[in-house]
Amino acid sequence: MNRTLLIAMSVTIGILVWSSRAGAHHGDADRYNQDVVTITGTVVDVQMVNPHARIVLDVVEDGKTVRWQAELGGPQQLIKQFGWTPSTVKAGMKLTLIGRRLRSGAPYLNLTERANIVATDSGKEIYRTANFGEAAPQGARGTGGNP
């Protein structure tokens, strides 16, 4: 093999590997419904970890308590962009969340797009994405149920 061909193949393979890794993390791979849902529950735990912080909460649905998780951006984003501190969200708080649910129907919300969090007791908004309230993107794949 000549040297130029070897270099071209190496660069091509490197680009393919790098782009697949970047897409695997940053795209939601159509895992979430495009319509948003609203849930209200009591915070059990707040996990300020990278790459995504999570809120774990208990939600009463049809008389049963269901454990939900809600995924946000990273902790640094919450601190810098939204002014979060360790006391912004803590165990025992009642929250109302609006976000996109997993297409599988599992009790998991994505709060990185068209999302909002309100402290239920005070009515204070503590999180709002820039595109909150916007309609689902045109041509988006289905809005409910399983694929």
Interval 60-114: pLDDT, tens: 999 999 999 999 999 999 999 999 988 899 999 999 999 999 999 999 999 999 9
Pair of tokens at residue 123: 């009515």
- Distance between CA atoms of residues 141 and 62, nearest Å: 29
pLDDT tops 70 at residue 17: no
- Distance between CA atoms of residues 104 and 145, nearest Å: 7
Q: Tell me the pLDDT of the chain averaged across its residues.
A: 83
pLDDT at res. 2:
72
Looking up tokens 């912004």, which residue turns up?
A: 88
pLDDT at res. 47:
94
- Mean pLDDT across the stretch 31-55? 94
- Distance between CA atoms of residues 50 and 67, nearest Å: 21
pLDDT at res. 117:
97
pLDDT at res. 52:
93
- Distance between CA atoms of residues 89 and 41, nearest Å: 12
